[in-house]
Amino acid sequence: MIREREQLMQQLMELLRREKKSDIAVLISQYQPADIAEILTELETHYRGTVFQLLSRETAAMVLEELEVLDESVIFNLVESLGAKYLADIINEMASDDAADLLGRLPQETREIILELMQHEEAVDVQELLEYDVQSAGGIMTTEYVAIRKDITAGRAIDVLREIAPEAETVYYVYVVDVKNKLVGVITLRELIVANPHALIESIMHRKVISVTVDMDQEEVARVVSKYNFLAVPVVDKDNSLLGIITVDDVIDVIYEEASEDIYLLGGSTELSDQDQSIMAKALKSRLPWLFITMLEGLIAGTVLRGLERELSAVVALAFFIPLLTGMGGNVGTQSATIAVRGLAVGQIDTGDVFRVAARETLTGITLGLINGLIVAVIAALWQNSFVLGVIVGLAMLGNMTTAALMGTLVPIAFKKWGIDPAVASAPFITASIDITGLLIYSTLASFLIGFLL
């Protein structure tokens, strides 16, 4: 596969140097839009416009849809080398949701120029879509759906589909609307082709239509589509008027995007870090803020330990258990936070569940604390030949794990309730807070029990 790609690139470069445009067009036409987009990205900047111009309008539109996901700098190249009018003509051909996504990423000035140059009807559609929150159903829906009236026949419906098939994002679901554009039914193309051609849509359509509202969060939309195995879901407003549809390919992008976002936040960095060294600045920007939070909390932890100065100088062995306590507390806290974040993301937990979930996690924390506390108590006592040190470390472990499990669960749920992405309550944030409380517990226990050590 990789070798095949290399060969293709060599062949293409050769043809570009010899300016064999018709050969290039033939070569490129054998590939899927997603592949052509990748090829464009790999090409030298000044060749991109040449190749793009050789694509048919329909293909060019589909390639632009794919490019948008890959690398926006390629799009800037194309705007520069081909001009806004050329792009505007192709954006006219794009699905409205992809056109809106694309334009939404361009600088405002370029966006307005292109919108001016587009067909009026398309431009209006796209401008409306641009106004929705990008993370909402409105932000990912397309207006190219197929809607029919309920008083036509199945045969006529297929004729309608034939006419609008080239325009529509999907023809596999046909939505049925009344005169006020309210959604009253749905029928699949599969059902239409097996139906008697003379049957009225009204008599064969499904009346219970599952839809999403235009302001629903995209994560929730993805859950609906996934739960019902839909290929698309209709988007309606408060009055059940049909505004658009969201297709399964966009849902897949949402699932990948949300999972990546959660994974990065849990790992303590904010965004996707790309491959090139050139984006070092971007990497630092996404990672440094989390490190500064950790630094602040590390210094607080140091201050807590300073309160233990007298005990530490008397019993240096107390210091040996600091990494053990913070490491294990951090682990329990991260586990609980992960379970809470994922539970909230896939809809297993909702913010109303707080008491039940907190009780369960506290119990888990106590159990884990008892098991691990007992083990480390025995080890500490034997290793340092001190029963009291064993008691201090063991009790600290119990207290630490219980609070860690509770904090790891409550912080993400609280964040969700306050409208913050719960994955922000991520590894560094949770572990650092747990370090501080764990050391407070340890210091307190040590200063109370130290008399028995000396």
- Considering only residues 1 through 30, tell me which ones interact with a copy of itself, judged by CB under 8 A: 30
Could you tell me what percentage of the chain is helix, strand and coil, using 3-state DSSP and rounding each to the nearest 5?
A: 70, 5, 20
Question: Rounded to the nearest whole angstrom, what is the least distance from the CB of residue 84 to a copy of itself in the complex?
Answer: 27
Distance (Å, rounded) from C-alpha 134 to C-alpha 129? 9
Site for a copy of itself in 153-212 (CB under 8 A): 158, 161-162, 165-166, 171-172, 189-190, 193-194, 208, 210
Site for a copy of itself in 124-143 (CB under 8 A): none
367 scored as a contact of a copy of itself (CB under 8 A): yes
3-state SS track over 328-348: HHHHHHHHHHHHHHHHHHHCC
Question: Rounded to the nearest whole angstrom, what is the least distance from the CB of residue 273 to a copy of itself in the complex?
Answer: 5
Question: 5 or 18: whose CB is closer to a copy of itself?
Answer: 5
Full DSSP string of 220-270: HHHHHHHHHT-SEEEEE-TT-BEEEEEEHHHHHHHHHHHHHHHHHHHTT--
CB of 339 closer than 8 Å to CB of 412: no
Number of residues that bind a copy of itself (CB under 8 A): 106
Question: 88 or 337: whose CB is closer to a copy of itself?
Answer: 337
Give the position of tokens 């990497």: 283
* Of 400, 402, 328, 399, the residue nearest 365 (C-alpha): 402
145 scored as a contact of a copy of itself (CB under 8 A): no
Question: Rounded to the nearest whole angstrom, what is the least distance from the CB of residue 416 to a copy of itself in the complex?
Answer: 16
Question: 80 or 274: whose CB is closer to a copy of itself?
Answer: 274
Q: Name which position in 8, 113, 324, 395 contacts a copy of itself (CB under 8 A).
A: 324
328 scored as a contact of a copy of itself (CB under 8 A): yes
Distance (Å, rounded) from C-alpha 364 to C-alpha 358? 10
Question: 57 or 162: whose CB is closer to a copy of itself?
Answer: 162
Beta bridge pairs of residue 174: 187
Question: Rounded to the nearest whole angstrom, what is the least distance from the CB of residue 113 to a copy of itself in the complex?
Answer: 29
Question: Rounded to the nearest whole angstrom, what is the least distance from the CB of residue 116 to a copy of itself in the complex?
Answer: 30
262 scored as a contact of a copy of itself (CB under 8 A): yes
Q: Name which position in 9, 13, 26, 319 contacts a copy of itself (CB under 8 A).
A: 319
93 scored as a contact of a copy of itself (CB under 8 A): no
Q: Name which position in 5, 303, 347, 378 contacts a copy of itself (CB under 8 A).
A: 303
Distance (Å, rounded) from C-alpha 366 to C-alpha 369? 5
Question: 59 or 111: whose CB is closer to a copy of itself?
Answer: 59
Q: Name which position in 321, 391, 407, 411 contacts a copy of itself (CB under 8 A).
A: 321
Strands (E) in 324-404, as ranges, are none
Contacts 24+ apart (CB under 8 A), 234-239: 234/145, 234/175, 234/183, 234/186, 234/209, 235/137, 235/138, 235/141, 235/211, 236/183, 236/211, 236/212, 237/213, 238/213, 239/182
Site for a copy of itself in 331-360 (CB under 8 A): 331-332, 334-335, 337-339, 341-342, 346, 348-349, 356-357, 360
* Of 123, 116, 118, 109, the residue nearest 89 (C-alpha): 118
Question: Rounded to the nearest whole angstrom, what is the least distance from the CB of residue 161 to a copy of itself in the complex?
Answer: 6
Q: Name which position in 41, 76, 149, 298 contacts a copy of itself (CB under 8 A).
A: 298
Distance (Å, rounded) from C-alpha 319 to C-alpha 439? 11
